[in-house]
Amino acid sequence: MRDDSIIQTEYSEVMEQSYIDYAMSVIIARALPDVRDGLKPVQRRVLYDMRELGIKYDAPYRKSARIVGDTMGKYHPHGDSSIYEALVVMAQDFKKGMVLVDGHGNFGSIEGDGAAAMRYTEARLCKITQQAFLEDLDKDVVDFIPNFDETEKEPAVLPVKIPNILVNGAEGIAVGMATSIPPHNLGEVIDAAKAYMRDENISTRKLMKYIQGPDFPTGGIVCNADELEEIYETGSGKLRLRGKVEIEKGKGGHTNVVITEIPYTMIGSGIGKFLQDVASLAETKKTNDIVDITNQSSKDGIRIVIELKKDADVENFVNLLYKKTKLEDTFGVNMLAVADGRPETMGLKQILAHVTTFQYELSRRKYTTLLAKEKERREIQEGLIKATSVIDLIIEILRGSKDRAMAKKCLTEGDTTGIMFKSRESKIMAQQLLFTERQANAILEMRLYKLIGLEIEALLKEHDETMANIYRYEDILSSHESMTTVIMEELDRYKKEFSRPRRSSIEQLEQTVYVEKPQEEIELYFLMDKFGYARCIDTATFERNKDAALAENKYICMCKNTGRICVFTDIGQLHTIKVSDLPFGKFRDKGIPIDNVSQYDASKEQVLCVTSKSELNLYRLIFVSGMANMKIVDGGEFDVNKKTVAATKLADGDSLVSVAVLKEFKDVILQSQSGFFLKFEVSEIPEKKKGAVGVRGMKLEKDDMIESVYYTIGTDPAPITYKDKNFDSDRLRLAKRDGKGTKIRI
C-alpha cells in the first residue's frame, strides 16, 4: 500500500462525526415525525406502499405480512418488527385520535394484549387516509426521492390535507431528545387551522377558543385547564389526567365505584397494574372499604367495578384511588417535530404555521399541474374544433399523402410537397394550415365518429368547461384569498365527513385531597423464630397458644398495629420494621423473613434483641460488646422512623455480644471465652449516649473476648450454661465492675 493512500486523522474527530451522523439519522429518518404530515418515515412508507399495492378502503383486505414485506423490500430496510408495529399502531383506535389503517383480525387490545402475528392479520387503507393523505400524489404536489438502494422512488412527505400531527399526536425517542404530542379532536383542529389562515397574528389564547385541549381516544379528564395556554405557547409541560368515575348502587345496599374511562397513560399493562394497586390497598390495610374488584371491560368500552362496604366514605375512597393509583396520572408534553429539516420544539401556533404553509404549497403545486393539463387540453380541443370546420380539406390531405409524416408536416407547416390535391384551391388552403404539434397528432388520431353533429357539440361543451377550469385555476394561483377559500372548503368537507364528538373533557380541578382514616390501635404479639421468619397475632390467639409460642419462637414482644418493631444486631445496627408490613393472621402461619421488610442482612449480621418501639420509650437498654465495653442508653434515643440507624459506636474490630431491655435486672454476669466470670451490680454501669463507646466492664486477658452475658432478677439466680454444663449464678461472688473475674473450671 502506498503511503499517500493512508489518511491520518484524529480518532476523537472521527468518533464525533460518526456519532453525529448516527444521531441525526435516528432523529430525522426514524424517531421524529415531520410537522407537515405528522408521520414518521416508517408510517409514511407503510401508507405509501399500501397505496402502490392498491389496498384501497373499498378493496379487499390484504395480509399484513404482504404489506410489511413489500415495505421492507422497497422502502424501509430496518426489520419487519418495526414496520408491523407501526402498521398495528395506526390501526388501534385506542392509541390514535384517528385511525389511518383499517385492521382486520387481532390488532391488540387496550388492556395490553399484543397483536397477532402479521401472517394472521389483514389490513387496508381507511377512507380518510386515501382521500386526505394519498389522493394528490399523481399531481406533482410533493417531491419524490430515491429509496435506500435507488431502485424506487418514494415521497419525501405525504400530501396530507389536515393537521395530522395534532390530530393523531406522536411519541418517539430519538438520541438526546424525545417527542410526546397528545392527540386532538379533528373538528377542533380544522377550526383552529382555518382561524389561523384568516389571521396569522392570532394569539394562542384565541386559538384555544377552537381547540379546547387534547382529546384522548380513551376519554378521561384533563384536570389542569389553566395550564394549557402555557403548554400550547411553549410546546412543553405536563397534563394532569384522570379517569372518569361513576357511582352506582350495588346489591344489598353496597355502593359500586365504576371506572368507565381511563387516563391515556394507562393504555396497555397499566390496567392490570391498576387492578393490582387497588388490591394492594386492601391487603396493606390502606382501606378497609373494598368488598370486591371486577374488570367487566369489553369491546364496548372500559368498565372496572369496585364494590364498597355499606358505610364506606365514597368520596374519600375515590380520592384515595386518585392519590395512590394511576387513575390520576401525568402526561408529559413535548411537541418536538422535524421542521425545515431539523428537530424543533413548537407551540400550537408554530405548528399551525408550518401546517398551513404546507397546505398552500400543496395547493400551489396541485393547481399549477392542473392548469398545465387544462391548457394542454384546450390546445387539443381548439385544434379539433378548427379541424371540423375544414374537415374536407384535411381528408383530402390525408388521402393525398404517402405517409403520416408527410400529412403531419402539411398540417403543422403548410408544406404540400408530394401531396396530391384535387384542385389548386385546396393546395393553397392547405399551405395556410398551421396547427401545433399536439393538435396535429390529435387530428391524425381522430376517429370518424367524432364528425357526428352531437360529438361536435360535446366537443364545444367540453371546451367551455376547460376554459372555465383554466379561469378558475388561474384565479386560485393568482389570488391568496381564492386559494385560502379552496383549502378551507376542503377542510370543511373532511370535518363534515370524518369528525366525531370530543371524548376527553377539559376541567380545572384542584389537587386530590385524601384524608386517611385514623387506624384503630390494637395490641398484638410479634413472633419471630430462629430462622428469622416473623408474623403478628392478636393477644387472644397468643394466650391460647402461649406455651407453643414460647417454645417455637426465639423472640416475642408485645406491639401495636400502628407501631414499629426494633431489631438490634451484633454490628451495632438498629433496623425498624412497620408492624403493618408484617403478616397478621393465624398462629400456625409461617410469616415472612424480616429481610423482606427491612434492610437487615442475615449473611452479615446477627439479631441480638427484638423489642417494640413503644417499649423502648419506657425503658433503657444495656449494651455489651466483645471487648467488654458496656453502657446503658435511654430507649428514647432510638425514637426514629428511619429503616436503619447506628445503635451504638464500636471500636475497630469490636462487635456487640448482648443488647437487653433493662427492666428489673439486679446483677450482670460477664463470661469470657477462656472461662472467666465476673458478677457485679447493674447499677455500676453508667448511662451514656448511643454514640458513646461505653466503659470497660471486665479486664480481659490477651486475645480473650466476652462470649455471653447473663442477668439476675431480684433474688432469683440466673441459670448459666458453660461447656454444656449448667450451674446457677449463686456460685459466683459479687464483685466490682472492671475486675478480672473468677475462672470457672468444669
Report, as residue numbers or ranges, the catalytic residues.
120
| CA–CA distance, 402 with 420 (Å, rounded to integer) | 9
Q: At what angle do helices 41-52 and 80-91 cross, to 10 degrees?
A: 80
Q: What residues contact 537, with CB distance under 8 A and at least 6 apart? A: 524, 525, 527, 584, 585, 586, 587
The answer to whether residues 51 and 130 touch, using CB atoms and an 8 Å cutoff, is yes
Which residue is listed with cell 366537443?
459
Find all residues with CB under 8 Å of 493, minimum gap 6, and list them. Answer: none
CB 179, CB 335: distance < 8 Å: yes
Amino acid at 432: Q
Rounded CA-CA distance 719/154 in Å is 93
| CA pair distance 721, 323, nearest whole angstrom | 56
Distance CA 325, CA 495 (A): 37
Crossing angle (nearest 10°) for helices 404-413 and 391-400: 140
Distance of alpha carbon 115 from alpha carbon 262, whole angstroms = 21
**Where would I find the beta strands (DSSP E) of 415-454?**
none
- Grid cell for residue 721: 450454661
Of the candidates 577, 578, 560, 559, the one whose C-alpha atom is nearest the C-alpha of residue 568 is: 577
| Of the candidates 43, 365, 349, 2, the residue with the CA atom closest to the CA atom of residue 200 | 349
Q: Is 220 helix (H, G, I), strand (E, B) or coil?
A: coil
Element spanning 486, H or E:
helix 480-498
606: nearest Cα among 690, 531, 709: 531
What is the residue whose three cell numbers read 397574528? 201
From residue 314, give the alpha-carbon distance in Å to each of 130, 323, 362, 520.
49, 14, 56, 20
* DSSP sequence for 194-206: HHHHH-TT--HHH
Rounded CA separation 648/652 (Å) = 13
Rounded Cα distance, 736 and 710, in Å: 16
Q: How far is CA 287 from CA 292, 334, 372, in A?
A: 13, 37, 74
Cell numbers standing for residue 397: 390531405
Residue 289: which of 261, 308, 272 has the closest Cα? 308
Q: Strands 62-63 and 122-125: what pairing?
A: antiparallel
Query: Which DSSP state fits 80?
Result: H
Residue 152, CA distances (Å) to 34, 70, 383 in order: 21, 12, 38
342, 275, 270: which is closest to 306 by C-alpha? 275
Residue 408 CA: distances (Å) to CA of 156, 527, 711: 42, 111, 129
